[in-house]
Amino acid sequence: MIAEAVLKPGGDAATALYIVAFSLFILGVKRGTHPTTAKQGNLVAAVGMAVAVVTTLLLDGVGNWGLIALGLGIGTAVGVIASVRVKMTEMPQMVALYNGVGGGAVALIAWSEIRHGISLGETIPLDTLIPVLFAAVVGSVSFWGSNIAFAKLQDLIPTRPLAVPGQQVINVVLLIGILVACTDIAINNDDPSQAIFIAVLLAAGLLGNLVVLPIGGADMPVVISLLNAFTGLSAAAAGFALDNVALIVAGTLVGSSGTILTMEMATAMNRSVANVLFAGFGGAPAGGGGGSTEERPHVSIGAQDAAIKLAYADSVVIVPGYGLAVAQAQHAIKEVGDELEKRGVTVNYAIHPVAGRMPGHMNVLLAEADVPYEQLKEMEEINPEMPRTDVAVIVGANDVTNPAAKNDPDSPIAGMPIIEVDQAQQVIVIKRSLSPGFAGIDNDLFYEANTSMLFDDAKKAAADIAAEIQNL
Amino acid sequence: MSLMTEITIFVLAAFVGFEVISKVPTTLHTPLMSQTNAIHGIVMLGGLIVVGYANDPLEYVIGTIAIAFGAINIVGGFMVTDRMLGMFSKKPKPKAEAADGKGGGGK
Sorted by sequence, the CB contacts under 8 Å of residue B6 that are 6+ apart come out as: A239, A240, A243, A245, A248
Query: What is the pairing mode between strands A391-395 and A299-300?
Result: unpaired
Give SS3 for B107: coil
Contacts of B103 in chain A (CB under 8 A): 463, 467
Contacts of B98 in chain A (CB under 8 A): 335
- The ranges assigned to domains in chain A are 1-85, 92-280, 292-471
Give SS3 for A394: strand
**CB-hemisphere CA count at 13 Å for A361?**
28
Judge whether A161 and A210 are in contact, CB under 8 Å: no
Q: Say whether A116 and B86 touch across the interface (CB within 8 A).
A: no
Flag whether B25 is in a domain: no
Contacts of A109 in chain B (CB under 8 A): 43, 46-47, 50, 63, 66
Flag whether B58 is in a domain: yes
Question: How many inter-chain contacts (A to B, CB under 8 Å) are there?
Answer: 412
* Per-residue pLDDT, A279: 63
Among B9, B65, B70, select the one facing A245 at the smallest CB separation. B9
Instruction: Give Cα A297 distance to the centre of its chain.
Output: 36
Q: Give the total number of structural domains in chain B.
A: 1
Is B57's Cβ below 8 Å from some Cβ in A?
Answer: no
Domain that holds residue B81: 41-87
Which chain A residue's Cα is nearest to B49? A62
Per CATH, is A292-471 categorized as 2.30.30.30?
Answer: no
Contacts of A60 in chain B (CB under 8 A): none
Is B40's Cβ below 8 Å from some Cβ in A?
Answer: yes
User: Which candidate in B2, B29, B43, B79 is best for mutational testing of the A interface (most A CBs within 10 A)?
Assistant: B43
User: Which candidate in B5, B19, B36, B90 is best for mutational testing of the A interface (most A CBs within 10 A)?
Assistant: B36
Is B8's Cβ below 8 Å from some Cβ in A?
Answer: no
Q: Is the pLDDT of residue B22 over 90?
A: no
* Per-residue pLDDT, B102: 38
How far, in Å, CA of A294 to CA of B68, rounded? 49
User: Which candidate in B33, B60, B87 is best for mutational testing of the A interface (most A CBs within 10 A)?
Assistant: B33
Per-residue pLDDT of chain A (472 residues; tens, 9 = 90+): 444 457 888 889 999 999 999 999 999 999 999 888 899 999 999 999 999 999 999 999 888 899 999 999 999 999 999 999 988 778 888 999 999 999 999 999 999 999 988 888 889 999 999 999 999 999 999 999 999 999 988 888 877 777 777 888 899 999 999 999 999 999 999 989 999 999 999 999 999 999 998 887 777 888 999 999 999 999 999 999 999 999 999 999 999 999 998 988 887 766 778 877 776 544 333 333 333 444 577 888 888 888 888 988 889 999 998 888 878 888 899 999 999 999 889 999 998 887 776 777 788 788 878 888 788 888 888 999 899 899 999 998 888 888 888 888 877 777 788 899 888 888 999 988 777 766 667 788 888 888 888 888 888 899 999 998 888 8
Q: What is the DSSP string of A152-202?
A: HHTTSS-SS----TTHHHHHHHHHHHHHHHHHHHHHTTTS--HHHHHHHHH
Flag whether B31 is in a domain: no
* Per-residue pLDDT, A55: 96
Q: Say whether B26 and A10 touch across the interface (CB within 8 A).
A: no
Residues of A forming the active site: 399
DSSP state of A351: E
Which chain B residue's Cα is nearest to A73? B68
Give SS3 for A35: coil
A173: nearest Cα among A197, A216, A203: A203
How far, in Å, CA of A288 to CA of A440, rounded? 9
* Per-residue pLDDT, B25: 76
